[in-house]
Amino acid sequence: MPTGLQLAILAGGLVGLGVALIVWRLTPADPDLGDALNRLSPNNTRPRGDLGQAEAGGTDARERLGLWGMKTLPAGAWGSVPVKELAILRIPVSRFYGEKLMFAGLGLLAPPLLATFFTLLRLPVPVVIPVIASLGAAVVFFFLPDYNARDDAKKARAEFARALGAYIDLVALERNSGAGPRQAMEAAADVGDSWVFRRLGEELARTRWSGLTPWDALRNLADELGLPELQDLADITRLSGEEGAQIYSNLRARSAGMRAAMLGAEKAKANEVGERMSIPMSLLGVIFLAILVAPALLRVMGDT
């Protein structure tokens, strides 16, 4: 059972937290001008793949919670937002904020529930421990979506690079057969059915009414998603579209270079795995030698 001092500390902490929340709520808001302008910018709106869902009103609980958090919490409370990672994953910022709040709430509630479970088992836990654990878990869980987004985006970029190598070869073949720059890029995007080819096809189709050239659209997409390989493709196709240069050999050389770089990365990853696998074998060898040497050492120490 908690002691009177522990209950008094808990009650005082709750009262102080309530007063702090009231003062923070009643304090006039001081919005971050840069963040406000960034939200109003057309380049940082909801990802394009979710426009249809937004128009249909299809928002889930995470997005509603995230929208509430964006209106209530200050901009600096969210930390560094992985904008490019969310863009390549097509996750709206509101849903990302909602996931952060949901994870923080889970971390805040888990320790008290565990403490209650142990109390029912007649293993009481001091009140201070779940309180500190709740705050620590809430902070750690709050940043878990950041790690998940960066890890998923890293895998998505690797998949995009692999598919982009095939797309560059297809564009080169289309150009070699006499197709124009736009026709070659659109025809190559229609060949594949993966999300990478669909993303490229959507971006190229949008250029027909947006007024942008295909290479400018790909350059903007490369900047938005953080894909330097796509930016190289945009530069090469720009030479063909604006200056009429023959780019077949450049495209094939670029795709070959990308495949060589990916092969080198896979070999480096395989070497790292091999080195990690050698560590347990080395430890087993050390243990085996210790087993062989230990009786002799014990016998020598017993004789002395």
In percent, the amount of the chain with pLDDT more than 90 equals 14
Q: Rounded to an integer, what distance in angstroms lies between the CA atom of residue 261 and that of residue 166? A: 14
Q: Give the pLDDT mean for 127-154.
A: 89
Judged against a pLDDT cut of 50, whether residue 58 lies above it is answered with: no
Structure tokens at 189: 């995007």
Q: In 121-227, where does DSSP find H-type helix? A: 128-142, 144-176, 181-191, 195-210, 214-225
Task: Quote the mean pLDDT of the chain.
Answer: 80
Beta-carbon contacts of 124 under 8 Å, excluding residues fewer than 6 positions away, are: 1, 2, 118
Beta-carbon contacts of 156 under 8 Å, excluding residues fewer than 6 positions away, are: 88, 89
Who has greater pLDDT, 87 or 7?
87
Write out pLDDT tens, residues 228-278. 888 888 888 887 776 656 778 888 888 888 888 888 888 888 888 787 777
Who has greater pLDDT, 21 or 298?
298
Judged against a pLDDT cut of 90, whether residue 193 lies above it is answered with: no
What was the pLDDT predicted at 99? 92
Q: Give the pLDDT mean for 109-129.
A: 84
| Domains in the chain: boundaries | 158-262
Write out pLDDT tens, residues 197-230. 999 999 998 888 888 888 888 999 999 888 888 8
Judged against a pLDDT cut of 60, whether residue 10 lies above it is answered with: yes
Judged against a pLDDT cut of 50, whether residue 49 lies above it is answered with: no
Do the beta carbons of residue 104 and residue 140 sit within 8 Å?
Answer: no
What was the pLDDT predicted at 11? 66
